[in-house]
Structure 1
Amino acid sequence: MKKIIVTTHPHLLKLNIQGVQVISPKNYLAQSELSKEKNVRVFNLCNDYRYQSKGYYVSLLAEARGHNPIPNVKNIQDLKAPAIVKIVSDELDELMQKSLRKIKSKEFTLSIYFGHNISRQYDKLSHELHKLFQAPFLRAKFVFNKKWVLQGIKPISFSEIPEGHLEYVMEYAGSYFQKKRYDQAKVVRYTYDLAILMNPEEKSPPSNKKAITKFIDVAEKNGFYVELITKEDYDRLAEFDALFIRETTSVNHYTYRFARRAQSEGLVVLDDPDSILKCTNKVYLAEILDIAKIPQPKTVIVHSENKASIKKELGLPCVLKLPDSAFSLGVKKVKTEEELKEQLGKMLNASELVIAQEYLPTDFDWRIGVLDKQVLYACKYFMAKGHWQIYNWDNENKDDVEGMFETVPLDQVPAKVLETAIKATSLIGNGLYGVDIKESNGKVYVIEVNDNPNLDAGIEDQILGDELYGRIIKTFKNRIEQSHY
């Protein structure tokens, strides 16, 4: 397996290991030929893992390219989640008390380099923490109040390592990068109740009130106890059997934290955190669709060094998208060079990478619902009145914010539309997805894959009726039962 180390300062990492390539994050992100390489493991040693930073995108695109990153995006998000830290503290309680028993102070900081500490007495604890969070350089803080508790853990950059530790770090690095297998923690535990997460104040939730009532009725008929929960119920997740998220998801949002916490507790989850991470970032989607040769509008992943080529590559008008935009928010059509420069400048200030696509005008988009890699429903979503998108959030007339819809029997949907939807979602997982597809000049193009598709009574259920809700509830039940075998 080829190994690529991505580090902000390649010249500082003096390694001479056969089969290991050391490059900068800029080179990894910009070199499209790397996406063609297979059987690759990427070690992300960037200085910064913040959301939408270069370090974040290295792991995200490595996953899209099938490159097996360490840490992966889920590990990066875990490092920011207090609830995950608390779970880890509880799980490693016995080991922490044993490892730290001789420390007399009320606080202790542990530096972890590739799963090691320079003091061997903390090696086992360091190894377990590294196994859970995977970042190469970690700093864990413990506090004592009757017993030791993990207060927090964060990644550190190479430049933050004390000079006296560097000799040990290089020794650990040499051993680490020559390994053939890398440990990962697994936490699996399942129960039998269903929690539905929703926000009563959300203006455009993914399921209307009647649909939520339908889910409850159908779930109860299938032997589930169902409870509607909100963000205030975060600490109660372990009480439930499974989690069904029915509000708009985002990575830097409590919906992702709910999904990750639920998964860590062993619950069956829709939307699962992996699908949220992948679907809510259009950079990831663009990369995996391109690698899989699934048609999408001509697309350029824009960064500071190629932004001047957009007009030549795509022409005008074209469409600019922030990576984590949803429901047409953060998506702009630009018609002139001035608009392109202005909007691109704003977006690149918010994110290291931006999506630019050719403009494909159509009267409607297909929305294909997919569950467990099978088509669930098909709808035509027509453009909002006088607008180029399904949603027109700038329209002061509330009745014209959304376009019309038409639910279509599956046998009346073009086969290539259904096939493309299945191919696109199979790249993400086997959860519940909505694929937006355009037909233009006899061809189909994937616009995006949504991890949290609309399921509204009176729209998506027009063909299947209660069977639509039944299929989703049975997926929960089947997954819970399969976990016991």
Structure 2
Amino acid sequence: MSFNFRKAQNQDLPFLLQLEKEVFPAYQQNSKQNIKKSLSSNFQEIFIVEDTIANQAPIGAFVLFKYTHSLRIYSVGLIKAYHNKGIGSIILNYIKTYAAAHNFNTIILEVSATNQQLINWYKKHNFTETALLNNYYTEGLHAIKMKYNQENATKDYKNIIVINQPFKWQENTINAKVISVKDYINNTQYHNNPDYRIFNLCSSYKYQSYGYYVSLLASARGQRVIPSITVIRDFRIKNVIQSIAFDLDALINKTLLKISNSAFSLNIYFGQTPNKSYRTLASKLYQIFEAPFFKVNFIKNEKWLIKDIKVFTFQDIDNDTEKDLMYSFAVNFFNKKRHNYPKLANYKYDLAVLVNPKEETPPSNALGLEKLKIAANKKGVYLELITKADVDKINEFDALFIRETTNVNHYTYEFSRLAYAEGMVVIDDPWSILRCSNKIYQNELFKKHKIKTPQTIVLANNISNLKQLDALTYPVVLKQPDSAFSLGVIKVNNKEEAKVELLKLFKKSDMVICQEFLYSEFDWRIGILDNTPLFACKYFMKENHWQIYDWNSESDDPSGDYVTLPINEVPEKVIKVAQKAAALIGDGLYGVDLKIVNNEVYIVEVNDNPNIDAGVEDSVLGDALYDTIIDSIINRINIAKNIQKIKLTE
């Protein structure tokens, strides 16, 4: 169904009279004389509703009274053949759009006090009862006065849905403002605010169409837009689609394993799809191909592949069942609650801290997290601990701080990547996770920049390369490229031990790091934030063990002792090497591990997501350590916002 709205003219009088008699009881019917006056009145507006499919045939009408600050719905009527088809919601949305465009603060109306069904319908559309009007229609026939505060026109929503005809959008309970294309293009309210998230639901994304320009303008205004111009372009290039989706190959084939046909299609609405079996896949596809609505066509040869992806628009959803489904997904998408309880103070920014309550050795202990929260609240930042189950809440925050052990092949990386894609400040950023998670990368990087490391070779999963073991001076240390906390790190004392352990490591990785063994009583850990030393610790080797961690130890604590020192008590050469190494990774929060052997400083590795435990890393700075971290996050948010403002003025 498709409808048009226009102002009534004198030639519409016969239809308006017929509609009055068909729809309204005698005591509510308007006379011919009154209708004529309404047609010529500056105070009143009569709109005709037309069915565009049925040759523009009039099917209904509504009358509006225009007061100084309020718009009154005097009457709404539809011919009986169009009852119970959802058209009333379309009309009401049109009226709300009209009210917003003409700066009416409220919409008021009266409804029969005995018509509870209609009263409930208006309540569903956010009208509230304000008064009982006794004997309003005639003696003994009362009315309920109802009011709608024009929040959609005045509330500062972050989510903006841009659509060709906003009155056709029938879901009014979502946490988003629905506006027209022309309003988005012309209204200065939407020109200079980079905080807006624009959802482009225009009827076409073709080159130089309105939909194309909405995404283009949003990008120029520094606003987050879905779909972006890049996504619109990428959908048209088959090789790009398959390349971008390459990492989902295993998930695609696992999800579609039981499908017997050689072709399959999946419709995705706001990252969701109705069949539970495909919801994880739909969510992952949405993270890669951000568009409100799209269809993914899969084809199976030896394995399942994406054949193509087709974007469809709000206008293309013409099936009532499908539209209801889409609206339910919109509610889920936009109405995710950020907080389980109301905030008691006004905070300038919101910070999500990703944790895993079940992690045995998290990078921050409970007291450390509490101190971080206190520091954040003190500086006007609301801090909420989130878990992997809260991935849909990410876009409600200004920044993400990961306090869970990270890895590339892990949801922590996906959180980081998603937060970065949302334009958020994120520590650890995805690039730091990538660079810190792989010791092969770091070895090449440090070698290129002449930073001293233990002598290192990289062994590939090839029997002939094992001949290199003959030339080694034992003992040596073998490392899985993404090893952490001493896991995947093995000391071998001879060639035979090396072969045995390499065969185990090659089952997990095609490449393995082999380093000379340099013993030291302790490793330096220099915490670096914004390329500035933050804390310094000596981590001592576990007693009777060659590493800081001994996971085979029978004691409750597998780690060695520690000493935290003021930065000015750390050898200057250690600080210089730590800063140089960290700067090659990025400007995030890093823990740089170093050794001093024979008075030479060796870089062991740079870790993202370093430990910040109350009672350990904060032993010197105390609460100032957490203040510094929060200050950095605030500064990053402000810089990001200022960059957006600069872009808008260029």
- Whole-angstrom distance in 1 between the partners of 2:388 and 2:355: 8
Match of 2:484 among 318, 321, 326: 326
Closer, same or farther in 2 for the Cα pair 1:98/1:289, shift >3 Å?
A: same
Deviations 1:231-280 (CA, angstroms, capped at 9, x unpaired): 11011101111111001001111111111111111111011111011101
**1:193 match: secondary structure:** strand
- Overall identity of the aligned pairs, in %: 47
Residue 130, structure 1, aligned to residue 276, structure 2: no
Q: In structure 1, what is the equivalent of residue 540 of structure 2? A: 382
Structural mapping, 1:311-350, within 5 Å: 311-350=469-508
Matches within 5 A, 1:225-264: 225-264=382-421
Name the CA distance, whole Å, in 2 between partners of 1:301 and 1:256. 25
Structure 2 counterpart of 1:371, one-letter code? L
**Paired position in structure 1 for 2:266:** 143
2:352 pairs with 1:195: yes
Letter of the aligned partner of 2:427 in structure 1?
L
C-alpha distance in 1 between matches for 2:359 and 2:247: 40
1:467 maps to: 624
Answer yes or no: is 1:358 the counterpart of 2:481. Answer: no
Aligned residues: 342
Q: Distance in 1 between matches of 2:596 and 2:444?
A: 21
- 1:212 maps to 369
| Superposition pairs of residues 389-468 of structure 1, within 5 angstroms | 389-399=547-557, 401-468=558-625
Can you list the C-alpha shifts for 1:334-353, whole angstroms capped at 9, x where unaligned?
11222100111111221111
- What is the one-letter code of the residue matched to 2:416? A
Structure 2 counterpart of 1:130, one-letter code: V
Note closer, same or farther for the CA distance 1:287–1:150 as it changes in structure 2 (3 Å cut).
farther
Return the letter of the residue paired with 2:266. Answer: V
Give the residue type in structure 2 aligned to 1:341.
K
1:281 aligns with 2:438: yes
Q: Is the 8 A contact 1:296 1:445 kept in 2?
A: yes
Contact 2:407 2:433 in 1 (8 A): yes
Instruction: Answer whether contact 2:268 2:295 (CA < 8 A) is retained.
Output: no
- Please state whether the residue corresponding to 1:320 is helix, strand or coil: strand
Paired residues of 1:310 and 1:356 also in contact (CA < 8 A): no
Cα pair 1:130 1:136 within 8 Å, conserved = no
Q: Is the Cα contact below 8 Å between 1:142 and 1:149 reproduced in 2?
A: no
Aligned pair in 2 of structure 1 residues 374, 132: CA closer, same or farther (>3 Å)?
Answer: farther
What CA distance in whole angstroms lies between the structure 1 residues aligned with 2:247 and 2:514? 35
> How big is the alpha-carbon RMSD for the aligned residues of Structure 1 and Structure 2?
3.3
Structure with greater strand percent: 2
CA distance in 1, matches of 2:239, 2:352: 30
- Residue aligned with 1:330, SS: strand
One-letter amino acid matched to 2:585: I
How far the C-alpha of 1:126 sits from its partner, in A, is 2.2
1:355-379 residue CA offsets vs partner (Å, 9 max, x unmatched): 0000001110000000000111110
CA contact (8 A) 1:391 1:402 kept: yes
User: What corresponds to 1:80 in structure 2?
Assistant: none
Q: Which moved more, 1:342-351 or 1:90-99?
A: 90-99
- Quote the offset at 1:225 in angstroms: 0.8
Q: 1:479 aligns with which of 624, 636, 646?
A: 636
> Are the structure 2 counterparts of residues 153 and 212 from structure 1 closer, same or farther at C-alpha, using a change threshold of 3 Å?
farther
Which range moves more in the overlay, 427-436 or 145-154? Answer: 145-154
Rounded Cα–Cα distance in structure 1 between residues aligned with 2:379 and 2:402: 19
Per mean C-alpha deviation after superposition, the further-off stretch among 304-313 and 327-336 is 304-313
1-structure distance, mates of 2:235, 2:536: 51
Q: How far apart are residue 473 of structure 1 and its match?
A: 0.4
- 2-structure distance, mates of 1:482, 1:297: 38
1:10-55: CA deviations, max 9, x gaps? xxxxxxxxxxxxxxxxxxxxxxxxxxxxxxxxxxxxxxxxxxxxxx
Residue 412 of structure 2 aligns with an amino acid whose one-letter code is T
Which has more radius of gyration? Answer: 2
Q: Distance between the aligned counterparts of 2:408 and 2:297, measured in 1?
A: 20
Letter in 2 for 1:393: W
Contact 1:314 1:357 in 2 (8 A): no
Residues 93, 149 of structure 1: 8 Å contact kept: no
CA contact (8 A) 2:458 2:512 kept: yes
Which residues of 2 match residues 24-103 of structure 1 at below 5 A?
none
TM-score (norm 2): 0.49
Asked if the contact 1:323–1:355 (Cα under 8 Å) also holds between the matched residues in 2, the reply is yes
Task: Tell me how far 1:312 sits from its aligned partner.
Answer: 4.1
- Against the structure 1 CA distance between its residues 150 and 224, is the aligned structure 2 distance closer, same or farther, given a 3 Å change threshold? farther
For residue 96 of structure 1, report the CA deviation from its aligned partner.
8.1
Kept in 1, the 8 Å contact 2:298–2:306? The answer is no
Cα 1:335–1:96, aligned 2, differ >3 Å: closer, same or farther?
farther
SS of corresponding position for 1:226: strand
Give the counterpart letter for 1:196 in structure 2. Answer: V
Q: What is the TM-score of this pair, normalised by structure 1?
A: 0.65
Shift of 1:143: 3.4
1 CA distance for matches of 2:247 and 2:433? 26
Query: What's the offset of the Cα at 1:150?
Result: 4.5
Note if contact 2:526-2:592 (Cα within 8 Å) is conserved in structure 1.
Answer: yes
Secondary structure of 2:484's match?
Answer: coil
Task: Give the SS at the match of 1:357.
Answer: strand
Shift of 1:123: 7.1
Find the aligned partners of 1:96 and 1:253 in 2 and give their Cα distance.
37
Distance 1:315 1:261, change over 3 A: same
Comparing 127-136 and 234-243, the one that deviates more: 127-136
SS, match of residue 580 in structure 2:
helix
Partners of 2:488 and 2:583 lie apart in 1 by 26
Distance 1:480 1:344, change over 3 A: same
Aligned to 1:257, the other structure's residue is in SS state helix
For 1:333 and 1:142, how far apart are their aligned partners in 2? 51
- Structure number with greater CO (CA < 8 Å, separation at least 6) is 1
Which residue of 263, 266, 269 corresponds with 2:423?
266
C-alpha separation between the residues in 1 aligned to 2:555 and 2:580? 38
- Any stretches of 5+ residues in structure 2 without a counterpart? 1-197, 208-231, 253-263, 270-291, 308-347, 643-650
Letter in 2 for 1:405: Y
Amino acid at match of 1:356: C
**Distance (whole Å) between structure 2 residues aligned to residue 94 and residue 440 of structure 1:** 65
Change (3 A) 1:123 1:370: closer
Structure 1 SS opposite 2:641: coil
Secondary structure at the counterpart of residue 349 of structure 2: coil
Matched to 2:622, the amino acid is: G
Deviation at 1:406, TM superposition (A): 0.5
Question: C-alpha deviations, 1:373-427, integer Å up to 9, x for none?
Answer: 011111000000110000000112224x110000111111111110000111111
Contact 1:231 1:254 (C-alpha < 8 Å) held by counterparts: yes
Q: What is the deviation of 1:310? A: 3.8
